[in-house]
Structure 1
Amino acid sequence: MTAQRQQRIQQRYRPLFRRRIAFLALLAVLVAQGFTAHAAITERIVTDRFSGLAIGGFDPVAYFVDSQPVQGLEDFEAWQDGVVWRFHNDGNRASFLAHPEIYGPQFGGYDPTDVARGVAVAGNPGLWFISDQRLFLFSREASRDAFVANPGRYVQRANARWQVLKQGLSR
């Protein structure tokens, strides 16, 4: 094959190759987003759309008792506010049922920095912070860091917008 012919072939197929690479990159991004965003953002409480569990099946009381997220167990479930919650043990379940307003994540588990902006973005159970004896979940580390720097500011703004925002979410 002559050098000129090789050059013509490369010129003909190079744009096609670049388009395929761009398409595969776009496809990879879309697939990654689909796998990371599996919380429903139409519910009043962040619910895993695959399992139907509130806050991804994590025990909300464990954040207070164990100071870390702990996956709840199927043996310790409770139905509260229209969703199934899981707990690590029976004591945590009893505490939650007695005081869901304390142990449940604020703003239904939505990121309070986004709620303060008037947007419902599901919080990640692995990104959390307890402020004023209340649990807050965040969608990204930057949101958590901003909140930690001035929780009162975000809570005040989020409280002002939550009632209206919550009306747009289904039961």
Structure 2
Amino acid sequence: MTAQRQQRNISGSRPLFRRVFAAIALAALMMPPVVSRAATTGRIITDRFSGLAIDGFDPVSYFVDGQAQLGLPDYEAAQGGVVWRFRNEGNRASFLAHPEVYGPQFGGYDPTDVARGVTVAGNPRFFAVIEERLFLFSREESRDAFKADPARYLARAEARWPALQDDLPE
């Protein structure tokens, strides 16, 4: 390739690159801003994509049905800075009347990890209802250890939770 052709190819590609870059930048500026469906907080386990507390599981179903069940979009409620889903209107009303009873303890963080001084998100599928309170665990082994001696883990977790909670984003 001659020097003259090389120069023509280099100078010819720059305007094209600038036009493509300008078009992309303009398109990005014209896009509507992304609006979150829910205000989220680090103090309650919330799905970062959907904004739903405890991945959209119905917190009341753990008590009523004894199992983890997904809530429905028709029965949502905002409480504690996050959006909760429920299976039916009765569960929704019960939760709104007593969120401190039905909401997961430690914001849904694994109490065995909280007892160790760290915050690890609980999985809504690994749960236990102990002393009329809901606890979520990050893994089955944590749940089994907790259920074997809940008093030991609860004493440690409750002592460490205030400091850990202060470090979580609001």
Q: TM-score when scaled to structure 2? A: 0.75
Which residue is equivalent to 1:43?
42
Which residue is equivalent to 1:31?
none
* CA shift for structure 1 position 153: 0.8
Which residue is equivalent to 1:127?
126
> For the residues of structure 2 that align with 1:116 and 1:153, how far apart are their CA atoms?
9
Unmatched tracts of structure 1, length 5 or more: 1-41
AA partner of residue 115 (structure 1)? V
RMSD (Å) for aligned C-alpha atoms: 0.8
Which residue is equivalent to 2:78?
79
Which residue is equivalent to 1:152?
151
AA partner of residue 166 (structure 1)? Q
* CA shift for structure 1 position 170: 1.2
> For the residues of structure 1 that align with 2:164 and 2:139, how far apart are their CA atoms?
20
SS of residue matched to 2:58? coil
Q: TM-score when scaled to structure 1? A: 0.75
> For the residues of structure 2 that align with 1:110 and 1:136, how far apart are their CA atoms?
8
Report the count of equivalent residues. 130
Which residue is equivalent to 1:101?
100
1:140 aligns with 2:144: no
> For the residues of structure 1 that align with 2:112 and 2:161, how far apart are their CA atoms?
11
> For the residues of structure 2 that align with 1:87 and 1:72, how far apart are their CA atoms?
4
SS of residue matched to 1:77? strand
Superimposed CA distance per residue, residues 44-87 of structure 1 (whole angstroms, 9 cap, x where no aligned partner):
00001111100000000000000001100001001011000000
> For the residues of structure 2 that align with 1:70 and 1:99, how far apart are their CA atoms?
19
Which residue is equivalent to 2:68?
69
Superimposed CA distance per residue, residues 11-36 of structure 1 (whole angstroms, 9 cap, x where no aligned partner):
xxxxxxxxxxxxxxxxxxxxxxxxxx
> For the residues of structure 2 that align with 1:142 and 1:78, how far apart are their CA atoms?
32
SS of residue matched to 2:50? coil
Which residue is equivalent to 1:163?
162
Report % sequence identity: 71
Poorly superposed stretches of 4+, deviation over 3 Å: none
Report which of the two structures shows the higher radius of gyration computed on alpha carbons. 2
